[in-house]
Amino acid sequence: MADDTAGDPVTGAKWTRRTTGKIADELHRHGIDVCPNTVAKLLKQLHYSLRVNHKKLARTSNPDRDEQFAYIATMRQQFTTAGLPIVSIDTKHRELIGNFAHKGTTWRTKPRLVNDHDFPSDALGVAIPYGVYDLHHNRGCVTIGTSRDTAEFAVASLTRWWHNDGRHRWPGTQQLLVLADGGGSNSYRSRVWKHALQHKLCNRHGLTITVCHYPTSASKWNPIEHRLFSEISKNWAGTPLDSYDTVLNYIATTTTTTGLKVKAYLDTRTYTKVTITDEEMETINLDRHDTQPARNYTISPQWS
């Protein structure tokens, strides 16, 4: 079910691509006889829900979507079997820092008064949460940026996780699988993303990094959405994010009954637009996979 599960990063609701009948058939192949109705009851206990159709998709379609999902599942299985780390990465939507209304409710004797308008000019700044989620250890690392969500910021956040947490939980490891969305700061089209991975992470830490990007409009299937970001949203729901300390505290105190723990860091550096030339691209030790090479590739260290 792990590879077929998506989720809402705000409400925590989960859903699956498989029908109850197909899940029952799969369980039967593993020697477990249950009917589809029983499967439905079990899904509800695991906080899955039925989802209605939303008319939000463009008429264009991606014929390689299922192939990419299958390839990501294969790569996850290979790294898991080999005992190698897998992380899911993404950026949570930007938050204004100030006494502004925040979605959600809290138990209080009286409502907290906040600004009647969310004018950016009244904000102390912005918070851009970039998350790294370790699937095996159920650990999250969230860096709060105060500038822009750029590819360099994304790689800096991933590097911070490896330096402060990853290398200690995975001692001696030289390979890493990264699951990412197809767009945003870690877009599969981004030259800066690949260049920064090579020179800021692979070369400096001796890591061989395999990246698999989810298909377009499939970000909800990225594990970080429903395993980390949804829990953070529930933890600070209804609470104004009036300071960076408040943001960091709510992220760092996010836990679940399944053992999730999160570390939070503040990155006050200024990130600007960077252009990578063709010559600089030649310095990347990039090996594209046979399956959807644009979305699946490995970057290896360059040893002098």
Residues 215 and 170 in one domain: yes
| Gap between the Cα atoms of 136 and 127, Å rounded | 27
| Among candidate residues 56, 81, 100, the one where a domain is terminated | 56
Note whether residue 176 is domain-resident.
yes
Query: Is the confidence at residue 10, as pLDDT, over 60?
Result: no
Residues 72 and 6 in one domain: no
Residues 42 and 85 in one domain: no
| Gap between the Cα atoms of 196 and 186, Å rounded | 11
> What is the average per-residue pLDDT within 247-274?
96
Query: Is the confidence at residue 302, as pLDDT, over 80?
Result: yes
pLDDT at 228: 97
pLDDT at 104: 75
Note whether residue 39 is domain-resident.
yes
Residues 19 and 92 in one domain: no
CATH number at residue 214: 3.30.420.10
Query: Is the confidence at residue 79, as pLDDT, over 90?
Result: yes
pLDDT digits (tens, 9 = 90+) for 99-124: 888 787 777 777 777 887 888 888 89
| Gap between the Cα atoms of 197 and 284, Å rounded | 9
Note whether residue 40 is domain-resident.
yes
Q: Is 63 helix (H, G, I), strand (E, B) or coil?
A: coil
pLDDT at 33: 85
pLDDT digits (tens, 9 = 90+) for 80-95: 999 999 999 999 999 9
Note whether residue 304 is domain-resident.
no
| Among candidate residues 38, 56, 74, the one where a domain is terminated | 56
Query: Is the confidence at residue 56, as pLDDT, over 60?
Result: no
Residues 121 and 262 in one domain: yes
> Among residues of the chain, what percentage have pLDDT more than 70?
89
| Gap between the Cα atoms of 234 and 134, Å rounded | 20
When pLDDT is cut at 50, 70 and 90, the band that residue 15 belongs to is: low
Note whether residue 141 is domain-resident.
yes
| Gap between the Cα atoms of 16 and 48, Å rounded | 8
Which residue, chain included where needed, has tokens 């989620």?
133
| Gap between the Cα atoms of 172 and 250, Å rounded | 32
| Gap between the Cα atoms of 161 and 143, Å rounded | 9
Residues 130 and 52 in one domain: no
Residues 217 and 244 in one domain: yes
Note whether residue 124 is domain-resident.
yes
Q: How many domains does the chain have?
A: 2
| Gap between the Cα atoms of 127 and 110, Å rounded | 27
Residues 32 and 68 in one domain: no
Residues 120 and 35 in one domain: no
Q: What range does the domain containing 2 cover?
A: 1-56
Residue 21 sits at the vertex; the CA angle it makes with 17 and 26, to the nearest 5 degrees, is 80
Distances (CA, A) of 167 to 23, 145, 207, 298: 37, 22, 10, 19
Residues 246 and 142 in one domain: yes
Q: Is 14 helix (H, G, I), strand (E, B) or coil?
A: strand
Residues 139 and 207 in one domain: yes
pLDDT at 190: 97
| Among candidate residues 9, 41, 56, the one where a domain is terminated | 56
pLDDT at 59: 44
Instruction: Kindly report which listed range (113-127, 169-183, 216-230, 289-303) carries the lowest average pLDDT score.
Output: 113-127
pLDDT at 101: 82
pLDDT at 42: 83
Residues 52 and 67 in one domain: no
